[in-house]
Structure 1
Amino acid sequence: MAVSQCTYHVFLSFRGEDTRRNFTDHLYTALVRAGIHTFRDDEEIERGKNIEDEIENAILHKSRVSVIVFSKNYASSTWCLDELVKIVDHMKSSEHVVLPVFYDVDPGQVKKQTGSYAEAFARHEESFRSELNMVHKWRAALKEVADLAGMVLRDRHESQSIQDIVNQVQNKLHLSALYVPPYLVGVDTLITRINWWLNQDGHTKVGIATICGIGGIGKTTIAKVVYNQNIHGFEGHSFLANVRETSRDCNGLLRLQRQLISDILKGKAHKIYNTDNGINRIKEAVCCRRVLLVLDDVEDLETVRKLIGSQGPFHPGSKSS
């Protein structure tokens, strides 16, 4: 499997005092639940590490997209402004993508440095009289990013804005993650346990897990979150939704087999003419690569046997649920 040199999908830049415990926290959670590996300074920097070096490394070498949350007091932080200059320099010299988010400010205020941004720069010019060149770089970086297509929140519902940002990031990254609601309650502990199970044996063992319970308690949502958070660690992945209902339709099992093969082979599915042929094709697809397979809403084990066969053909390190 080709592994990207980027450790993170997204670098999240924000003014902590303004948004760390509200909007940015909700955005970070939504990105992670969508399977988007996101760098946030208070989450990703190891204790004892040089913070400035770690952040610069995350911007320049480890992320593909920067999401910048411009808030009322963003420009008052020289740390944020230095970070912004690094992001803009990286954007100019590479394919790094920048997505500005205007939270409680307008793009014009950021671009022209008016209002609270004007007040912040008045203080900066007083404090950095001998380093006005740096102040000019800060101003230029703000102007350049404010001209990019971004997300202006204004009076929009925060949950919808966050989902729109997640969708934009997914499109820019060309990720195949599944939709999950931005706000989930009472699922984090179970998700953590399943993630631990997925990773405890590394690449050595095949694992199968079952999530049981009455309808409507969030089993599918939990499965989607876990799937999103782990697809980047597998060579192939497939989420088959509504298996019970689909398998009862005419040629339903055949359609599920075709989807599974297409997902694993990234659209390069061969023709299959019956379920027996489909089982053989699935074995060929999964025997030589680590895959993550989720079968949603399965009624009984017999359906699984008809879908993928009774003999486990999976490559070591593959996981199924």
Structure 2
Amino acid sequence: MMMNTTYREKSLGILSVCLLMACFLFSCKKDTPDVPEKKNEKWRTQAKTDSVGNQYYVVNTLDNTLEIRVDNKDGKTIFSEVCPTIDSTEIPSDMRNLIVDLVAPNRFINRDQASLSLEIVLDDLETRNKYIQLLANIDLDSKKFYTKKYKVEQPLDWAYVTFPYSLVQWYGNSLLVREGTDKDLNRGGGYMGLGQRGTQLVCYERDFSIRYTKDIDASDAYYPSGNLWNIPINNYEYMLFLNDGYVGRMQIVTSVEDKWAGKQAVIWRDNLKETNNIPADYSIKITDYNIQNNVVSASYNIYDEKGQLKEKRTRKWSIGNGMPLGS
């Protein structure tokens, strides 16, 4: 009986020690700061930031996939998708061989939709004779994701103009892209279509089905640029607002056929400096613009020759003919 009691006491003692050690270890773990999980990536590109603070970047993962990710302004990943058309052999080992441009969401066009342009250089970074271009359309609300791949291995392969602002968020959630052969895009020098207009203007839906195409063959072809303030009003026309006080209803004119049809780039325009009789050494800066119920409006500041603010004004126009509607 004494032996059983002693055995039980020893067993309880050992169990108590184990429980104390477990409690000690648990308490130590709770007091120790969480160690950040190691990112599953070999490299990532420098982030591109939109107007609300979302950051867009491309990652080469340890699993040999190419991923597009978006973090919100708080650093939380809100979008992450593998590029399905890029295989492991096409992912550069050096991050410098991947160049990324962002077409950020626009509050007047696509407030939740972004597009990314990826250029992957497959040979020498200086010559760039062989490369892949990838367009990616992202919907940050629905999380839908579409890509279109262009693989250029010879001058007759199809490609698109890739310098910043060459892609344009467009009417009805579409995307304007200037395309052409590599030879045509590089005809004037540079690389990847830098400064070249291409041979076609293609309007893509978000899933990259084609809404329409227009040949670019006129010597003075006119089409929008992504770095301009514009609000599309149909497939071919838009209101243009230039920072220095120019407001106009513009039309895409890209071909001789367009000209034969009587189309003109400018439907109507208003140079605010001229219509306000502003002195030549004064300047104007548009601060806000909008379209509501077929009424175009723009707010702007007037500065004197020393750059001092003199006055704030607002002007309105009829969208159809540009008739001023008062301030």
The TM tier, using the shorter chain, reads under 0.3
| Bigger strand fraction | 2
Q: Which structure is richer in relative contact order (CA contacts within 8 A, separation 6 or more)?
A: 1
* Structure with a larger share of its residues in helix: 1
Tell me the TM-score normalised to structure 1 length. Answer: 0.25
Q: State TM-score, norm by structure 2.
A: 0.24
Greater Cα radius of gyration, structure 1 or 2: 2
